[in-house]
A and B are shown apart, each in its own frame.
Chain A
Amino acid sequence: MSSGCRQVTGNINSFNVLNSSNVVNLITEADAEGRQILQWLSPLEPQQRHQGVRIDRLDGVGNWLLKPPSSEIGGIKKMVALSQYCSVTGIQGWGKHISGRKASCLEKGNADIIDD
């Protein structure tokens, strides 16, 4: 691993940041053909973008999304339970990006661990 390079291990279930810099490399455990297949499926690398968003995020910002369902706009857990689809709309800089990141963490199966 070169110095000054943030390297991410895509070891199946996590993308662990090993050290810091502005470059993110994704290393997968896939075999050579597996890596070709991943590239064949899409040239996009959303996992890397996710790391960038995660690092830029200020802790605590966007927590309203997880507030109890009784709050005005909170209650993502209830939302997920109620509907198969949900959209968040707002002008630039108002937290859509953060809410998207938080929602993406729901795949871990526990919204309470979102501030990882």
Chain B
Amino acid sequence: MGLYCDFLAQQEQSTAGMLGAILKQLVNRRGIPEYIRRAFQKAKKEFGGRGLRLPDLVEILKKTITSLQRVFICIDALDESVPKHRRGLLESLLEIVQLSSNARIFLTGRPYIGDEIAKFFSKAIRIPVNPIQDDIKSYLDMRLDGDTDPDAMDDELRADIMRVILAKISEM
């Protein structure tokens, strides 16, 4: 299950909204379980359709994950989430995976987020990403090939662009 955090969607990215998005993907692929239908009908009847409270959502997520063989939860750009919601998200994920040995968590973010993750997942494997020259070169080739003004480009300029950008990136 994947979730992409985004500075531009912080309002929707509450802790419950993010966990709900994970649950949504799980049930959308396998059919909505009866216990979720019942919770929805109850919320509609008694609470005017109010969304699930966080503790209830976490319980339903645990139940749903436990019913599956293996679940990968990938959350991209964690640093783009609101700090208070991020904390709630990490706390909830920890609670969920502690009881679900079939769940795997994969998180990405800018370097400063690593320490925050470690507070909750102290045994997490951490992979620092460095620029891969071949990837950058491939990307530059693609962008230069798609140049909308090819007449302004020649082999010498192309080589200069590649050399300067690759050199700058290797200094980062």
Contact = CB atoms under 8 A, between A and B. Distances in A.
A104 interface: yes
B131 interface: yes
| Dominant secondary structure at the B interface | mixed
B17 A42 contact: yes
Given A12-B30, A42-B20, A89 B113 contact: yes
Interface in A51-99: 53, 58, 60-62, 64, 73, 79-80, 82-92, 94-97, 99
Interface in B58-113: 70-72, 74-77, 97, 101, 103-111, 113
Given A87-B108, A89-B110, A100-B74, A43 B12 contact: yes
A96 B135 CA distance: 13
Contacts of A80: 72, 104
Interface residues of B, number: 67
B132 A92 contact: no
B36 interface: yes
Contacts of B30: 12
A83 B108 contact: no
Contacts of B1: 46, 104, 107
